[in-house]
């Protein structure tokens, strides 16, 4: 009944080099075919020029206002996420495999969500115990039996992918996390591309790189398909917590690119189970809400009473079928870390297919056997809270001090079901421009998968990079940066 842990741990993989070499110069070894051109460019480029370009990028990001507020910073300083000028590259064939795997995974996750909130077939198998779902705080009983358009719950999914060598398979794709609530970062995918085209147009002339800028178009089309009733024109809006949210730039960016209103909770009200927005010409009905507000804050009547981020009565309107919320309420039950180990079995169960992408071997600490193994090997494992995000509330055994490990041990013992553990995964490395030149740094990838009448994704994603040498944490809140991601055609 518990997930099947540990196969052999995956090992390191470099995106650029064919094999690790001992030389001082990272770029001097044999290079993979799809990195030939970039590698040559990096060898020939002068460090000062590259540094100047990176500074130019920082200035441009500020002018465009691609900044985020840092929680707890009162002085209102806004920061930019560091941008690395060396792109991360996929050959067409690798991307083909990856996107097939992503489609398969997201399709299964949507089947799972529909099943959980309707017949619950999966709870009658030995894949998942009913209490794992029904007692999970991410399960929303309000959604039980509610029909949503096209039976789709996760319209926008951001699946975190890392690469590592797995047995004979070099650079195999592992899913680190499924983000099915309000995944962010897609604006950086688009802005990073714009920045690269502006800074290094010559590179684009030499490569055939798949474009990504049509993402907002696909998103709008997906959202429009979700309108509750056939109308000539559906009113789609983006719901943001407001200008102080760290992802505010992205909310404004997507609303602008789609040409729809960016609304806050105070702009909406519900009357007779219909949602309206307040305009200069009076109330106007809203059909689809692309919400970037968590479930808990969506409706003070249904969830947290103190929330002003969503209008009172939204859930009534939603359950009455007068408005569609994207992503649906209750998707958190499918991307919860305690559910993650079971996704491969979901794929087998709902699609009768073998999973294309690997899961990272995972110990569910709710299982006593797994727990004792984890407690005995804390120094070698990464332990995460099942509901945690953003790189907080986790233990990275190999880099933690003895005291930190002991403190974490107590927390873990007190509430084992709240944790999962994974071997420290050797995230792949990619050439990155650092102060002194180009050096390998660990990266991950978040592609964005859109589910409507069909499942679509643009050829690209957001590559995050841990800028500190040896670091495995790519989160922007903890010293991570981003890169442009190229899919070669």
Nearer to other proteins, 274 or 405 (CB): 274
217 part of the interface to other proteins, by CB under 8 A: no
Q: Closer CB to other proteins, residue 78 or residue 294? A: 78
- Residue 215 is a binding residue for other proteins (CB under 8 A): no
The verdict on 279 binding other proteins (CB under 8 A) reads: yes
Where on the phi/psi map is residue 472: left (φ > 0), alpha (ψ -120 to 50), or beta?
alpha
**Of these, 256, 372, 377, 415, which contacts other proteins (CB under 8 A)?**
256
Q: Which is nearer to other proteins, 243 or 376 (CB)?
A: 243
Contact status: 266 vs other proteins (CB under 8 A):
yes
- In angstroms, give the least distance from the CB of 179 to other proteins: 23
Cβ distance to other proteins smaller for residue 299 or 336: 299
- Asked if 281 touches other proteins (CB under 8 A), the answer is yes
Site size for other proteins (CB under 8 A): 26
Q: State the Cα–Cα distance between residues 307 and 268, nearest whole angstrom.
A: 13
- Give the pair of three-digit tokens for residue 404: 């930190």
Contact string (CB under 8 A) for other proteins, positions 182-201, x = contact = --------------------
Question: What whole-number distance in Å separates Cα of residue 351 and Cα of residue 171?
Answer: 26
Neighbours of 256 (CB within 10 A): 12
User: Out of 7, 243, 376, 379, which residue is the one contacting other proteins (CB under 8 A)?
Assistant: 243
Asked if 447 contacts 183 with a C-beta cutoff of 8 angstroms, the reply is no
Q: How far apart are CA 448 and CA 451, in angstroms?
A: 10
Residue ranges in 61-100 that form contacts with other proteins under rule CB under 8 A = 62-65
277 scored as a contact of other proteins (CB under 8 A): yes
Q: Which is nearer to other proteins, 264 or 404 (CB)?
A: 264
Name which of residues 439 to 468 contact other proteins (CB under 8 A).
none
Nearest-approach distance from CB 444 to other proteins, in angstroms:
29
Nearest distance in Å: CB 285, other proteins: 11
- Residues in Cβ contact with 395 at an 8 Å cutoff, skipping those fewer than 6 apart: 378, 381, 382, 383, 404, 405, 408
Distances (CA, A) of 248 to 65, 73, 211, 277: 11, 16, 24, 20
Residue 489 burial (CB count, 10 A): 12
- Beta-bridge partner residues of 283: 278
Does residue number 219 form part of the binding site for other proteins (CB under 8 A)? no
**246 to each of 73, 192, 293, how far by Cα in Å?**
11, 18, 12
User: What's the token pair of residue 23?
Assistant: 């030389």
Could you tell me the smallest distance in angstroms from the CB atom of residue 247 to other proteins?
14
Rounded-to-integer distance, Cα 374 and Cα 370, Å: 6
Work out whether 255 is an interface residue with other proteins (CB under 8 A): yes
Q: Which residues bind other proteins (CB under 8 A)?
A: 62-65, 242-243, 252-253, 255-256, 261-264, 266-267, 269, 271, 276-283
């Amino acid at each position: 009944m518990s997930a099947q842990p540990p196969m052999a741990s995956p090992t390191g993989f470099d995106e650029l080099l064919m094999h690790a070499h001992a030389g001082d110069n990272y770029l001097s070894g044999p290079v993979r075919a799809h990195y030939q051109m970039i590698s040559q460019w990096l060898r020939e480029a002068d460090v000062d020029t590259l540094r100047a370009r990176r500074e130019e990028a920082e200035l441009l990001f500020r002018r465009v206002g691609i900044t985020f507020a840092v929680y707890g910073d009162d002085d209102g300083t806004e920061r930019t996420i560091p941008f690395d000028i060396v792109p991360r590259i996929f050959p067409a064939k690798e991307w083909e495999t990856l996107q097939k795997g992503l489609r398969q995974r997201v399709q299964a996750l949507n089947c799972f969500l529909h099943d959980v909130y309707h017949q619950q077939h999966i709870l009658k198998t030995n894949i998942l115990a009913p209490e794992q779902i029904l007692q999970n705080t991410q399960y929303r009983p309000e959604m039980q039996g509610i029909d949503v358009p096209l039976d789709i719950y996760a319209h926008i999914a951001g699946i975190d992918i890392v690469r590592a060598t797995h047995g004979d398979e070099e650079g195999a794709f592992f899913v680190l996390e499924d983000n099915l609530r309000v995944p962010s970062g897609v604006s950086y995918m688009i802005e990073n591309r714009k920045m690269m085209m502006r800074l290094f147009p010559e590179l684009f002339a030499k490569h055939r790189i798949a474009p990504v800028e049509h993402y907002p178009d696909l998103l709008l089309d997906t959202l429009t398909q979700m309108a509750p009733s056939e109308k000539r024109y559906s009113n789609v809006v983006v719901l943001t917590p407001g200008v102080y949210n760290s992802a505010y730039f992205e909310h404004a960016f997507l609303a602008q690119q789609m040409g729809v209103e960016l609304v806050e909770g105070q702009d909406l009200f519900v009357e007779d189970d219909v949602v309206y927005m307040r305009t200069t010409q009076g109330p106007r009905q809203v059909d689809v809400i692309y919400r970037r507000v968590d479930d808990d804050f969506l409706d003070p009547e249904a969830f947290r009473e103190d929330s002003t981020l969503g209008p009172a009565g939204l859930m009534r309107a939603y359950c009455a079928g007068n408005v569609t919320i994207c992503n649906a309420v209750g998707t958190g039950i499918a991307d919860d870390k305690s559910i993650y180990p079971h996704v491969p079995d979901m794929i087998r169960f709902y699609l009768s297919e073998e999973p294309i992408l690997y899961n990272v071997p995972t110990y569910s600490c709710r299982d006593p056997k797994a727990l004792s193994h984890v407690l005995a090997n804390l120094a070698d494992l990464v332990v995460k809270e099942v509901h945690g995000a953003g790189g907080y509330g986790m233990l990275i055994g190999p880099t933690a001090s003895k005291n930190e490990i002991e403190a974490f041990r107590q927390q873990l013992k007190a509430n084992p079901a709240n944790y999962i553990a994974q071997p420290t995964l050797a995230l792949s490395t990619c050439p990155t421009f650092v102060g002194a030149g180009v050096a390998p740094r660990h990266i991950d990838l978040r592609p964005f998968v859109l589910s409507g009448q069909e499942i679509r994704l643009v050829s690209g994603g957001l590559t995050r990079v841990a800028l500190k040498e040896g670091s495995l944490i790519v989160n922007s809140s903890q010293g991570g940066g981003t890169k442009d991601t190229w899919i070669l055609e």
